[in-house]
Structure 1
Amino acid sequence: MSRLIILIGVLATTSVFAQGPPITTETPIMLGLEGNGIRTFGKLISKENATIYVQPIGIPYNITSKFQVGGIFPFRFITPKGAETTGGFADMTVFAKYQLYKKDGKAKTFRILGMVKQTFPTGKTSSIPAIGSGLYQTYVGLVIGKLTTKKGLYADFGYNITNKNASDNFLYNFSIGVPLLPHKYPQKQLNTYLEFNGNYVFDPKIHTLFISPGLQFIPGRRILFETSFQIPIVQNNITTNKTEYMVLLGTRFLLN
């Protein structure tokens, strides 16, 4: 039963919640498929002048029930229209999460986490187009979530600091998750999500916002499958090569 609780990703003192982690928003629950596991997904990004495919591999590890570390190792492939594909290993990220606040009740929980991410310029910049950004980036933010057996509300937001006189940016994500199957044992869950993913660049001022409906299936205690379709609703001050849509298809494994 304890492994089942870990898979679902929510631990409360009085009940187990029928909710998996959100798809494109950070989760405040550090157990389950967000800890001591592997997450990977393929993301297809369709732009006006190019198609981009990203395949990150995320490996989170729970040091304690309140402290998690991990790494994200992405591969990136860019195909400009009328040109050949350029690809390879992109910019690597390491991260840490720490639980700042937790309040559990009957069939509900509320969590706040602090999060720090450091991105290194490991992707090559000599190719055309470049695979990496060539920048060191440091992100500091908060992750918030309120979960019940009927729904999950999630949010994360933070400030991203860059070097080489590149612009800093503010990122924010919101998610609403609703289980579609009744809560029962053994667990088999089908969860639907409506998420919003935003990014505000300060100089020049560029604001993008995507709406991201998604679906998640948990067939057993060690694996889940998920998909999300992201559509831009705001692309302010972007005049060329706008994003048309993004499609995500992925899975998460529990290792132990």
Structure 2
Amino acid sequence: MMRSNRPLAGVSVLIGALLLTGVSWVQAAPNTFNTALPVAEGQYLWREQLVLRERSDNGPMDREVSVQALGSVLGYGVTSRFAVFGMVPYFFNKELDVTTPMGRIERDTSGFGDVSLFGRYTLYKKDETGNTFRVAPVFGLTAPTGDDSDSDRFGELPRPLQAGDGAWDGFAGVVTTYQTLQYQVEGQLLYRENGRHDGFARGDETRFDASLQYRIWPRSMKGMPGTPAFVYALLESNVIHRERDETGSGTDADSGGGQWLLAPGLQYVSRSWIVEGTVQLPVAEHPNGDAIEDDYIVRVGFRRNF
């Protein structure tokens, strides 16, 4: 005797209808990069993410950088295809420990960083009952709103330690999403061109990101009434290449390079909320010279549609 699939079919029809009618519904999404899933017309997406990042190098100065920051994002659905976003970072602490001829010293700063504004347009979409596929270009800029001339008793802080870089930066790319009830796959290709300020420019960055979100609870939709919440296991991959920083008329030999990060994590997804967390760990790093490298990055936060 064939088993009944009515509970699964019912949830499939419900989510398919939500996707097609534009009703606010939070879907699983990447934790370390953007998504092509829509923000319904006239609705908002609010996101807060706490980032704890530890970096170090193997050079003679034995640099260690610790960052605790909060990224606040607000998105708005202008139309069913076009959404705009603003992101404001705040650094609770950005600290450098370094060995100098005077011994080991600590330098730090805090405050608001550079604000980013960007748009995302759904170029292609295909919605079916229980699944959706989308392709969306992303384009934006980062304004020099953060302090780029902070100093301490040792003088002006080094460029990488400043809350802002003092330059206008631009970025563009494309994100894709394929979502079903059981899993979701996403990818992003993004290029960032960094501007110059006072003879300094951070190295331009190219990145390719991928994410798999797989539903681990409930294991079965059978007997689940209404609109359930979900728990997803995440595995994300980030491949990043950074050019050397430009200083004056030359480049910094100890900057830039390539890296590959993997980020396992979890998401709890309800109708209006996502609570999520990942830990990004380096699989391979190829810094130029004694460029600083990531030890790990922890990301925890939430999102809400309204």
Common fold by TM > 0.5: yes
Give the aligned partner of residue 89 of structure 2: 74
Q: How many aligned positions are there?
A: 244
Q: Distance in 1 between matches of 2:265 and 2:181?
A: 19
Kindly report which structure 2 residues correspond to 1:60-209, keeping only aligned pairs within 5 A, or say none. 60-76=75-91, 77-81=93-97, 82-127=105-150, 128=157, 129-164=161-196, 166=201, 167-182=203-218, 183=221, 184=224, 185-203=226-244, 206-209=257-260
Shift of 1:37: 2.4
Displacement after TM superposition at 1:157 (Å): 0.8
TM normalised by structure 1 equals 0.86
Matched, 1:221 2:302: no
Q: Once the two structures are superposed, what CA deviation does each residue of 1:168-211 show, in whole Å capped at 9, x if it has no partner? A: 22122100110112344332110111001122123476112210
- By how many angstroms is 1:66 displaced? 0.4
RMSD of aligned Cα (Å): 2.5
Task: State the AA in 1 paired with 2:125.
Answer: K
Query: Runs of 5+ in structure 2 lacking a partner?
Result: 1-13, 57-63, 98-104, 151-156, 246-255
Q: What percent of counterpart residues are identical?
A: 25
3-state DSSP class of the match of 2:118?
strand
Contact preservation (8 Å) 2:26, 2:304: no
CA-CA distance at 1:22 after TM superposition: 1.8
Distance 2:116 2:303 in 1: 18
Quick check: 1:22 aligned with 2:58? no
Letter in 1 for 2:116: T
CA–CA distance in 2 between the matches of 1:18 and 1:52?
Answer: 29
Are the aligned partners of 2:287 and 2:293 in contact in 1 as well (CA < 8 Å)?
no
Identify if the C-alpha distance between structure 1 residues 18 and 86 changes in structure 2 by more than 3 Å, giving closer, same or farther.
closer
For residues 242 and 89 of structure 2, what CA distance do their matches in structure 1 show? 22
In structure 2, distance between residues paired with 1:47 and 1:212? 16
Following superposition, the deviation at residue 25 of structure 1 comes to 2.7
Determine the C-alpha separation between the residues in 2 that align with 1:139 and 1:78: 24
The one-letter amino acid of 1:194's match is L
Counterparts of 1:150 and 1:18, CA distance in 2: 15
CA offsets 1:35-66 (integer angstroms, 9 cap, x no match): 60210011000122121111110000101110
Q: What letter is aligned with 1:158?
A: L
Q: Tell me which stretches of 4 or more aligned residues in structure 1 moved more than 4 Å.
A: none
Structure showing greater radius of gyration is 2
Task: Mark the runs of 5 or more structure 1 residues left unpaired by the alignment.
Answer: none
8 Å Cα contact 2:193-2:204 kept in structure 1: yes
Separation in 1, partners of 2:26, 2:72: 25
